[in-house]
């Protein structure tokens, strides 16, 4: 498993909640297990108690994205470091599931966790994955969607650091809203200009004409 993959764990967890819309999909142990994806062995450890614990970690991960999005990179790093200290992992070389053309293991880095519960295991991987992404690409590559009311987290992998939205859908919605706002402004300016010209003509005296 590539280290870059692990950073998606943090994004998936943060985006289970949409605060502005008062939506939260993290309401059951089944929802917790779905977050693990292919890591079915880890998912089997989840219990009802992990729902509350996952929400706590989610709030802390969102705080990392919020700080980064607001340009406070030092705060983002401090918050992420606190998670790394609380939920440690052990990097190991692994070759499972990946074979080259000759049938030999394709060695790669794997994050081995030793959690006391499912939340600790997920938090450890999410925090470490996010740390790898931050140190590799920069804290400004962690963002929150700029299309209100959406505030979903995303990882900017664009070549020019230009990403502002969590999805194409939000980008389209924001562009349409901006276009309509420009049209309304143009219409208001046109109406104001026309009214000003009309008032100017009415105030002209017959002698001036």
For 54, half-sphere exposure in the C-beta direction (CA atoms, 13 angstrom radius) is 33
Distance of CA 123 to the CA centre of its chain: 16
> What whole-number distance in Å separates Cα of residue 83 and Cα of residue 10?
12
pLDDT in tens, 78-128: 999 999 999 988 777 877 666 777 878 878 777 665 667 899 989 999 999
pLDDT at 151: 94
User: Among residues of the chain, what percentage have pLDDT more than 90?
Assistant: 53
List of E strands, 2-57 = 17-18, 23-24
- When pLDDT is cut at 50, 70 and 90, the band that residue 1 belongs to is very low
């Amino acid at each position: 498993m590539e280290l870059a993959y692990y950073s998606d764990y943090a994004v998936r967890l943060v985006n289970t909640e949409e605060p502005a819309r008062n939506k939260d999909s993290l309401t059951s142990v089944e929802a917790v297990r779905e977050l693990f994806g292919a890591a079915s062995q880890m998912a089997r450890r989840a219990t009802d108690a992990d729902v509350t614990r996952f929400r706590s970690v989610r709030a802390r991960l969102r705080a990392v994205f919020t700080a980064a999005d607001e340009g406070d990179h030092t705060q983002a790093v401090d918050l992420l470091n606190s998670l790394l200290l609380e939920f440690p992992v052990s990097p190991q070389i692994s070759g499972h599931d990946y074979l080259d053309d000759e049938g030999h293991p394709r060695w790669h880095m794997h994050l081995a966790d030793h959690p006391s519960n499912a939340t600790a295991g997920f938090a450890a991987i999410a925090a470490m994955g996010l740390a790898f992404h931050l140190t590799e690409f920069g804290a400004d590559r962690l963002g929150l969607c700029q299309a209100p009311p959406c505030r979903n987290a995303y990882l900017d992998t664009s070549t020019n650091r230009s990403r502002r939205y969590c999805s194409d859908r939000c980008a389209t919605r924001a562009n349409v809203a901006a276009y309509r706002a420009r049209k309304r402004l143009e219409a208001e300016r046109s109406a104001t200009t026309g009214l000003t010209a009309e008032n100017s003509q009415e105030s002209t005296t017959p002698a001036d004409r």
